[in-house]
């Protein structure tokens, strides 16, 4: 069943494959068979061909009383009758004082007359008749032979053999296509001094698998048609129909066959340019060290320029007068102004996007309600893949007409804001600890910039806070938000903090109600009620389990004097190593290394590395130290930092 499904998929051609099939059929039909004369459109208008079973033997001209087409039709009808005759054919030349004629001596039938308009310059009518006689003898003898029973039987058997061989070769190609993925997965090319990529070879192999069955079947069908005279005559009629002029441009007429040939050359030019651009990006630009964005820009511009120059060259070789294109250009301009303005707008927007690069392949963006990763930037549209795996094609003009949020543009570090509301009466210090604990325990939350808790407002039913954290990979923000919400809900429950809901207070004034409520509810003095005792136990447990260091963040635990003493200790002889540093031929005076400062904090103050990094960021935010180039926050890495006082 699996093999049958694969065969069914391979045998089911897509629309573009059918288009290629049609083009190849028409082009090959338009190619002349052997012994077929090549004639221009002007010659076809002056003379008409004499045809026997699809083969053009010669041409005859016009007479005073007969046009060339009428004369050729009479001669072709007579020759067709001779071909179907079972009597042997014997062509003779009869010459008198008035004309030179060609007849069949067996049937005594007049076939044609050789006139002055038929004679080639340099010979007489009798010599011309002799040449035509030889052509007629061979053509009529071949026509009678091809209609014999033995020839038909042999030709039929040969046709069946060709069809069977074509089917076998096609099945072999199908099997090769089925094993394609396995071959390219296991194959590792080892080519010395030859720069061939696996992707290029794979693309050429797929083109071969696509084109070879088509060429195989076309060649077989056309060869079978050439074996039978009736089929060969039909092919000739189709070729003549395609060769008739269908329109004129300037002083030249063009046929459908010429248009199909131009289309085939244009498609070939497209694939050739695509392959050349691939080589430029893969081998030239990549070896020069250009990044992916530069490769895409150069590749796209190169593709447009080569396609434009190639089309101009093809049109000139095709015989088209480019000055005649001025009318087409005018009509095209009107069409763009009225009907194609959206396409032109998207195309120009695509060029602007490629040049300015506000978005690039791989960026995580938000456009309106669409949030996803840019997969490709084309000439007319851009493909965006959303977080749920759906590819959406967006016209390029939307990126210039509306606001686009690009989290990956420049610095990919971005913030996430999580609003949290707690009940009135909650310990706000515990709220802050619970939120910061959830942020610090998450591995993907950056230590610098440090997570922050902001007290936003006193709302109707809650105290509103906001947890603000920073991420290095913004495309994971939705998952991280969910994980943080889980952790925040757990921490609030552990710390006994209630998440409120909308509520209203109802005040009743009545002496009877007051007396009734006092009898139902316990008195305020009943401190040992089960509910109040339970609340007191929870509060006492929380206070005993949380020390002062855990309740207060590091920034709140450090006083101004402690920070001044810490800075003084860092600048002393036993502090961090402050000296001139050299990096890439540049000298940075009086600075220390971030990772060495982290080690010093851990060793002398028993901080964890996370707390040491947070302490360094506190010093940066308070303007005590800074990165020598002001390009980085405080990090546990080989970065240079300097005390601001040392620069005065």
Residue 105 has pLDDT above 60, yes or no: yes
Q: Phi and psi for 608 in degrees, rounded to 5?
A: -75, 165
Give the distance from CA 394 to its chain's centroid: 13
Same domain, 445 and 465: yes
pLDDT at residue 473 in the model = 84
Domain boundary among 406, 434, 449: 406
Of 406, 427, 456, which closes a domain? 406
Task: Give the per-residue pLDDT at 11.
Answer: 42
| Neighbour tally for 623: CB within 10 Å | 9
* Whether residues 223 and 249 fall in one domain: no
Residue 43 lies in a domain: yes
Is residue 143 domain-resident?
Answer: yes
What is the CB-side half-sphere exposure of residue 181 using CA atoms within 13 A?
A: 2
Torsion angle of the four alpha carbons 377, 381, 382, 384, in this order, in degrees rounded to the nearest 10: -160
Residue 160 inside a domain? The answer is yes
Of the chain, the end-to-end C-alpha distance in Å amounts to 81
Q: Is cis: bond before 9, omega within 30 of 0? A: no
In this predicted structure, what is the pLDDT of residue 537? 52
With a cut of 80, say whether residue 457 has pLDDT above it: yes
Tokens at 253, concatenated:
């007429």
Q: Which pair of tokens denotes residue 71? A: 């004369």
By the 10 Å C-beta count (0-12 exposed, 13-18 middle, 19+ buried), 431 is classed as buried
What is the reported pLDDT for 460? 85
The highest-confidence range among 19-33, 185-199, 415-429, by mean pLDDT, is 415-429
* Domain assignment present for 13: yes
Same domain, yes or no, for 44 and 136? yes
The contacts found for 400-403 with CB under 8 angstroms, 24 or more apart, are 400/349, 400/352, 400/353, 402/367, 402/368
Distance between CA atoms of 597 and 579, rounded to whole angstroms? 13
The answer on 494 and 397 residing in a single domain is no
Residue 543 included in any domain:
no
**The CATH number of the domain where 286 resides is what?**
1.10.287
8 A C-beta contact, residue 91 and residue 105: yes
Is residue 524 in a domain? no
| DSSP reduced 3-state for 53 | coil
The two tokens of residue 247 are: 């329109």
The pLDDT value recorded for residue 419 is: 94
Q: What is the strand order of the sheet 100-104 is part of?
A: 91-95, 100-104, 109-114
Distance CA 626, CA 644 (A): 7
pLDDT score at 503: 65
Q: Collapsing DSSP states into helix, strand and coil, what is residue 114? A: strand
Contact between residue 442 and residue 482 where contact means Cβ atoms under 8 Å apart: no
pLDDT of residue 34: 37
Integer Cα distance of 107 and 129 in angstroms: 19
Q: What's the mean pLDDT when you consider all of the chain?
A: 78
User: What is the mean pLDDT of the segment spanning 595-612?
Assistant: 89
- Please report whether residue 529 resides in a domain: no
Lowest model confidence (mean pLDDT) among 170-184, 270-284, 445-459: 170-184
Contact 251, 208 (CB under 8 A): no
Backbone angles phi, psi at 497, to 5 degrees: -100, 130
Rounded distance, CA 279 to CA 277, Å? Answer: 5
| CA-to-CA dists, residue 356 to 352, 359, 376, 439, angstroms | 6, 8, 15, 37
Q: Alpha-carbon distance 177 to 171, whole Å? A: 10
Q: What is the CATH number of the domain that holds 565?
A: 1.10.10.10
157 and 125 part of one domain? no
Rounded to an integer, the average pLDDT of 350-360 is 79
If asked whether residues 257 and 357 sit together in one domain, one would say: no
d(C-alpha 634, C-alpha 252), whole Å: 75
Q: Domain with 355 in it: what CATH number?
A: 2.30.30.60
> Is pLDDT of 604 > 70?
yes
Beta 452-458 vs 463-471: how paired, if at all? Answer: antiparallel
CA–CA separation, 259 vs 251, rounded Å? Answer: 17
564 in Cβ contact with 556 (< 8 Å): no
> What is the model's pLDDT at position 165?
92
Higher pLDDT, 437 or 532: 437
Pairing type for strands 100-104 and 48-52 reads unpaired
Instruction: Give how many domains the chain has, as a whole number.
Output: 6
Q: How far is CA 289 from the centre of its chain?
A: 23
* Same domain as 451, residue 385: no
Per the structure block, which two tokens stand in for 489?
């809900």
Residues 492 and 579 in one domain: no
Integer Cα distance of 524 and 308 in angstroms: 91
pLDDT tens digit string along 522-579? 555 544 444 445 455 545 544 444 444 445 567 777 888 888 889 989 998 889 999 9
Question: What is the distance between the alpha carbons of residues 311 and 265, in angstroms, rounded to a whole number?
Answer: 9
Element (H, E) at 58: strand 55-60
Least confident segment among 46-50, 353-357, 418-422: 353-357
Q: Within 13 A of 416's CA, how many CA atoms are on the CB side?
A: 23
* Better-scored residue on pLDDT, 326 or 564: 564
Q: Of 287, 316, 339, which marks where a domain is finished?
A: 339
Is residue 238 in a domain? no
Placement of tokens 């001596």 in the chain: 105
Q: Cα–Cα distances in Å, from 526 out to 486, 514, 517, 541?
A: 38, 18, 15, 22
pLDDT at 192: 38
Domain hosting 210: range is 1-26+151-229
pLDDT digits (tens, 9 = 90+) for 113-157: 888 888 887 788 888 888 888 888 888 888 888 888 898 999 999
Name residue 452's beta-bridge partners: 468
DSSP 648: -
For residues 76-94, average pLDDT: 82
Contact 222, 165 (CB under 8 A): no
Q: Are 111 and 32 in contact (CB under 8 A)?
A: no
Q: Both 383 and 289 in a single domain?
A: no
Least confident of 32-36, 57-61, 321-325: 32-36
Give the Cα separation of 23 and 28 in Å (integer): 9
β-pair partners for 114 = 100
Q: What share of the chain is helix, strand, coil (3-state, %, to 5)?
A: 55, 15, 30
State whether 73 and 14 are in the same domain: no
Mean pLDDT of 158-163: 92
Residue percentage of the chain with pLDDT more than 90:
13
Question: For the domain that residue 445 is a member of, what is the CATH number?
Answer: 3.30.70.100
Q: Are residues 142 and 46 in the same domain?
A: yes
Neighbours of 81 (CB within 10 A): 13
pLDDT at 184: 58
Q: Is the pLDDT of residue 28 over 50?
A: no
In this prediction, residue 336 carries a pLDDT of 62
Q: Tell me what pLDDT residue 532 has.
A: 47
Mean predicted confidence (pLDDT) in 481-507 = 85
For residues 512 and 427, membership in a common domain is answered with yes
What does each C-alpha distance from 401 to 395, 493, 508 come to in angstroms? 11, 47, 59
């Amino acid at each position: 069943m699996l093999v049958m499904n694969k065969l069914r998929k391979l045998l089911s051609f897509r629309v573009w494959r059918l288009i290629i099939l049609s083009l190849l059929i028409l082009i090959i039909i338009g190619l002349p068979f052997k012994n077929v004369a090549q004639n221009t459109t002007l010659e076809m208008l002056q003379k008409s061909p004499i045809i026997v079973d699809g083969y053009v033997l010669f041409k005859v001209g016009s007479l005073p009383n007969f046009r060339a087409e009428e004369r050729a039709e009479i001669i072709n009808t007579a020759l067709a009758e001779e071909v179907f005759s079972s009597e042997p054919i014997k062509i003779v030349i009869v010459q008198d004082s008035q004309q030179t004629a060609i007849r069949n001596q067996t049937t005594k039938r007049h076939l044609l007359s050789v006139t002055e308009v038929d004679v080639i310059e340099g010979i007489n009518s009798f010599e011309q008749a002799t040449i035509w006689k030889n052509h007629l003898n061979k053509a009529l003898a071949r026509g009678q032979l091809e209609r014999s029973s033995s020839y038909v039987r042999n030709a039929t058997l040969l046709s069946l053999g060709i069809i069977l061989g074509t089917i076998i070769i096609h099945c072999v190609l199908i099997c090769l296509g089925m094993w394609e993925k396995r071959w390219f997965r296991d194959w590792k090319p080892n080519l010395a001094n030859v720069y061939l990529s696996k992707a290029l070879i794979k693309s050429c192999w797929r083109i071969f698998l696509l084109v070879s069955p088509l060429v195989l079947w076309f060649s077989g069908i056309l060869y079978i048609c050439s074996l039978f005279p009736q089929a060969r005559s039909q092919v000739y009629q189709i070729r003549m129909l395609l060769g008739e002029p269908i329109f004129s441009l300037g002083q030249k007429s063009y046929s459908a066959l010429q248009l199909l040939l131009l289309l085939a050359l244009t498609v070939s030019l497209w694939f050739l340019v695509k392959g050349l651009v691939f080589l430029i990006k893969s081998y030239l630009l990549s070896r020069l060290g250009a990044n992916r964005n530069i490769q895409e820009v150069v590749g796209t511009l190169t593709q447009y320029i080569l396609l434009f120059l190639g089309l101009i060259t093809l049109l000139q070789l095709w015989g088209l007068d480019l000055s005649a294109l001025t009318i087409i250009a005018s009509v095209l301009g009107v069409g763009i102004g009225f009907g194609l303005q959206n396409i032109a707008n998207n195309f120009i927007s695509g060029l602007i996007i490629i040049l300015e690069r506000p978005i690039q392949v791989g960026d995580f963006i938000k456009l309106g309600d669409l949030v996803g990763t840019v997969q490709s930037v084309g000439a007319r549209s851009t493909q965006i893949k959303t977080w749920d795996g759906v590819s959406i094609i967006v016209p390029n003009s939307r990126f210039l007409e509306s606001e686009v949020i690009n989290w990956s543009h420049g610095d990919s570090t971005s913030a996430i804001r999580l609003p949290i509301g707690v009940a009135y009466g909650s310990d706000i210090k515990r709220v802050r600890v619970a939120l910061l604990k959830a942020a610090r325990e998450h591995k993907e939350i950056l230590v610098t910039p440090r997570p922050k808790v902001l007290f936003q407002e006193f709302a109707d039913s809650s105290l509103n806070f906001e947890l603000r954290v920073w991420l290095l990979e913004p495309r994971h923000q939705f998952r991280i938000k969910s994980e943080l919400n889980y952790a925040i809900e757990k921490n609030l429950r552990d710390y006994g903090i209630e998440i409120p809901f909308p509520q209203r207070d109802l005040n009743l004034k009545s002496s009877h109600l007051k007396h009734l409520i006092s009898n139902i509810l316990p008195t305020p003095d009943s401190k040992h009620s089960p509910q109040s005792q339970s609340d007191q136990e929870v509060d006492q447990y929380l206070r005993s389990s949380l020390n002062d260091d855990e309740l207060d963040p590091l920034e709140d635990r450090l006083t101004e004097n402690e920070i001044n003493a810490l800075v003084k200790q860092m600048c002393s002889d036993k502090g961090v190593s402050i000296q001139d540093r050299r990096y890439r031929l540049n000298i940075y005076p009086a600075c220390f290394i971030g990772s060495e400062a982290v080690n010093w904090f851990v060793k002398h103050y028993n901080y964890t590395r996370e707390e040491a990094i947070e302490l360094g960021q506190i010093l940066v935010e308070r303007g005590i130290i800074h990165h020598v180039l002001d390009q980085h926050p405080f990090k546990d890495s080989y970065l240079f930092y300097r005390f601001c006082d040392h620069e005065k």
